[in-house]
Every structure is written in C-alpha cells, then in structure tokens.
Amino acid sequence: MFTTMRKSLLLTPALALMAACASGGGGGGAPPPPAAGGAAPGGTTLRFSGQVLATGARQMRGSAGATTIGSETEVVVSITGGASGGQHPWHLHRGACGSGGAIVGSAGAYPVLRPDAGGRANETANLTVALSRGQRYHVNIHESSQDLGNILACAELAGS
C-alpha cells in the first residue's frame, strides 16, 4: 500500500505539470511567491500588468505587461488609437506615471510602436534586467523620437 500511495504522490505533480504544459500553461494557478522584497531569483516568475491610458488629446488605449524570470524580463505593450503611420517610442520606467523615473534596461531594447491603418500596434522588449517585487513601474508611450517629452499614454503596472 505504501508503494502505491508513494507512486500516486509522485505522479500527481508530474501529471499536473504535463497538463499545464499541454494547455499552454495559462490560468493554471498562481506562480510561486518571489523572494521577499527582491528581484526574481533563479526560476521564480514575477508578473506585472496594467492598462494603457491616454494622457493627452489622442485617445490611445491598450495594455502593458512585464514578466521577469530570473535575471531577464520581457515587456509587452499593445495599443489602439495610435497615429497610423506614426512611430511611437515606448519604455518601461521605475516609479509611477508622471514621476520621471529612470528607464529600465537599455532604451535601445524597446522597438518603436508603428501603428497600422487602424491605429493598432504591438511590440515586445527583452531586457537583461530583473524587476523587483514591491517596486512600482510604468510604461510611457511617447509622441515620437523627436518629441520624447510628449507622453501620449501611460500604464501603471501592478504586480500579481
């Protein structure tokens, strides 16, 4: 009986892991908790997400998110209401919207958003920087590379 129970206890997590992989891993429960107050160690995952909201006359909207695994972070932004044919630089910053916080990682790591005819654009930046639990971050979307001071939209990112 002990052998059967031990096999069952060993198989259950393996089957759950296989099911999560087969389903794409989405929605299968909360990630393991990160180290208190610090960056994501080893295989720990930290997730941040927020809504892109217009800060000016242009009605830009969308979503932004960042996922840190170990010492690497992927930042994704998706917008609607961009200027068709426009080129909007964007960056992840430390702090809250409007704080003027420093860009996380290299500014060159963020591909320019280039909205299509419908004003939609999506881009991903891959950084060799870990985000930290309990810190504030935001994404700024700028008018153009010639007018970085004009922020069209911002997304406050909350950790989950």
How high is the pLDDT of residue 18? 32
Q: Domains in the chain: how many in total?
A: 1
Q: Collect all residues with Cβ–Cβ distance below 8 Å to 76 and sequence separation of at least 6.
A: 64, 65, 66, 122, 123, 124, 125
Tens of pLDDT along the chain (160 residues) come to 333 333 333 333 333 333 333 333 333 333 333 333 455 555 689 999 999 999 977 789 999 999 999 999 999 999 999 888 899 999 999 999 999 999 999 999 999 999 999 999 999 999 999 999 999 999 999 988 899 989 999 999 999 7
Q: Collect all residues with Cβ–Cβ distance below 8 Å to 47 and sequence separation of at least 6.
A: 31, 65, 66, 67, 68, 159, 160
Q: Tell me whether residue 25 is in a domain.
A: no
Q: Tell me whether residue 11 is in a domain.
A: no
Q: Tell me whether residue 7 is in a domain.
A: no
Q: Tell me whether residue 12 is in a domain.
A: no
Q: Tell me whether residue 27 is in a domain.
A: no
State which residues form the domain around 143: 39-159
Spatial separation of the C-alpha atoms in residues 49 and 78, rounded to whole Å: 12
How high is the pLDDT of residue 5? 32
Q: Tell me whether residue 104 is in a domain.
A: yes
Q: Tell me whether residue 29 is in a domain.
A: no
- SS3 call for 5: helix
How high is the pLDDT of residue 35? 39
CATH of the domain at 145: 2.60.40.200
Q: Tell me whether residue 4 is in a domain.
A: no
Which percentage of the chain shows pLDDT scores above 70?
Answer: 73
